[in-house]
Chains A and B, each alone.
Chain A
Amino acid sequence: MKTLADAWNWYKATKQNLARMQRLGERHWGDPSLTEASIWQDDHFRMLEAPDIVAETTVSLKPIDDLAVVVLFSVFESRVRDYLVELIEPQAQRIADPILKEAVDDAMQGVKEGSFYRRVLEPLKKQNRVTANLITQVDQVREFRNWVAHGRRNAPTNNVTPELAYDRLSEFLAALGISAESEESQPDRLNEEHE
């Protein structure tokens, strides 16, 4: 998953398929009219019981929204850091003075691996590249991601759904001119347009 759209498509497909499987277990799996169905000849299914399907899909679905926020933010963070590095690197390479070079290397390192809030969000806010309001909204997503990633201790300071995260992160990427779209899906779209 390289783009926000990839992550979003993964989330939707996974949740939808788990929900479908759960519904299959809850409503149809043991239906007497399916007794003769070919699925029972398949060793992967012939001993799979409806309660197992319901229990397993319930376990799988429970954390899916929280995990989606983690995945969405990871992809987003990586896209933003890569974008800024690409922006800074050509200028950094032109610097010859060793003292300045060290300072620039330090700045580059901060953008690549430093605190996302302090080294990326705050500078973008100061430069008015992104509105303060959007920075706050994205930081709320970041805080929620941290809350999930650190074991969901105590109550979250804000509730972020995958939909909310996707909207805010997409808007942020658009403000920087970064595409949220999947690179893999673009050729298909081009083909459709030609048809």
Chain B
Amino acid sequence: MSTTFREFLHQQAEKHQAEVVAGKDTVEEWRKAIANLFVQIREWLKESDPESLIEIEESQEDVREPGLGRYRVPRLNLRVFGKWIGIIPKARRTVGTAKPPQKSAPERAEGRVDITDELRRYVLYRFKEGGRDVWLIDGLESPEKAWPGQVQYIPRSEPRALDQEAFERALMSYLQ
């Protein structure tokens, strides 16, 4: 083995290791953000569904992201009236952009969670503001149905802050 190749391998190994370490921190921080979101969602559901009609099940979602590798995060499965709605973390390094509440220009979000029944989709974008997470919901204005073969997309709409009212509106659209 030539010295050049040995050095190359050593440098690549160091680079790879640094990425793994940095990725671990990012994933851990992402897990916490998801956990906090789910706590909030459970609180909203407890308040709006005192009869516990909606069955909430938490399971694990396998995600494989370029740069972060394969990791597991929690997801929620809601079941009611024979219907299923998933609240599923999609990507930490999302390509999605939106305008955070306190900013004037759109920015790339720092995480994405989808609310979906696999036909219709709302997208939750996460931004960090003042050390806390702010979530926006996209797709609330004109949700579209899709079918196999159709290129899925969500018509452009102005993402708005995710609050209890927006969350309930999204859920209601699946149950009507």
CA distance A187 to B93 in the complex (A): 48
CA distance A46 to B64 in the complex (A): 19
Closest-by-CB residue of A relative to B91 is A49
* B66 in contact with A27 (CB, 8 Å): yes
Binary contact readout B83-115 vs A (1 if CB under 8 angstroms, 0 otherwise): 000000011011111000000000010001000
Quick one: which of B93, B112, B156 contacts A43, CB cutoff 8 A?
Answer: B156
B153 close to A (CB within 8 Å): yes
B65 close to A (CB within 8 Å): yes
* A40 in contact with B63 (CB, 8 Å): no
Given contacts A35-B97, A47-B96, contact A54 B155 (CB under 8 A): no
B67 close to A (CB within 8 Å): yes
Residues in B whose Cβ lies below 8 Å from that of A25: 66
CA distance A47 to B91 in the complex (A): 11
CA distance A35 to B96 in the complex (A): 9
Given contacts A35-B108, A43-B153, A43-B154, contact A48 B95 (CB under 8 A): yes
Q: How far is the CB of B70 from chain A (nearest CB, A)?
A: 10
Q: How many A-B residue pairs have CB under 8 A?
A: 55
* B93 in contact with A30 (CB, 8 Å): yes
Quick one: which of A40, A43, A50 contacts B66, CB cutoff 8 A?
Answer: A50
Residues in A whose Cβ lies below 8 Å from that of B94: 30, 49
B123 close to A (CB within 8 Å): yes
Binary contact readout B134-175 vs A (1 if CB under 8 angstroms, 0 otherwise): 000010000000000001011110000000000000000000
CA distance A49 to B91 in the complex (A): 7
Q: How large is the interface on B (under 10, 10 to 19, 20 to 34, 35 or more residues)?
A: 20 to 34
* B65 in contact with A44 (CB, 8 Å): no
A149 close to B (CB within 8 Å): no
* A54 in contact with B123 (CB, 8 Å): no
A102 close to B (CB within 8 Å): no
CA distance A47 to B159 in the complex (A): 13
Residues in A whose Cβ lies below 8 Å from that of B154: 43, 47
A151 close to B (CB within 8 Å): no
CA distance A55 to B91 in the complex (A): 13
Quick one: which of A40, A45, A47, A51 contacts B123, CB cutoff 8 A?
Answer: A47
CA distance A26 to B63 in the complex (A): 13
In A45-94, the 8 Å CB interface with B consists of 45-51, 54-55
Given contacts A43-B154, A44-B151, A46-B153, contact A54 B64 (CB under 8 A): yes
10 shortest interchain CB distances as A-B pairs:
A43-B153, A49-B91, A30-B93, A50-B66, A26-B66, A44-B153, A44-B151, A35-B108, A51-B65, A51-B64
Q: Interface on B for A, CB 8 Å cutoff? A: 63-67, 90-91, 93-97, 108, 112, 123, 138, 151, 153-156
12 sampled A-B residue pairs with Cβ under 8 A? A29-B66, A30-B67, A30-B93, A35-B97, A40-B95, A40-B97, A44-B153, A46-B153, A47-B123, A47-B138, A51-B91, A54-B66
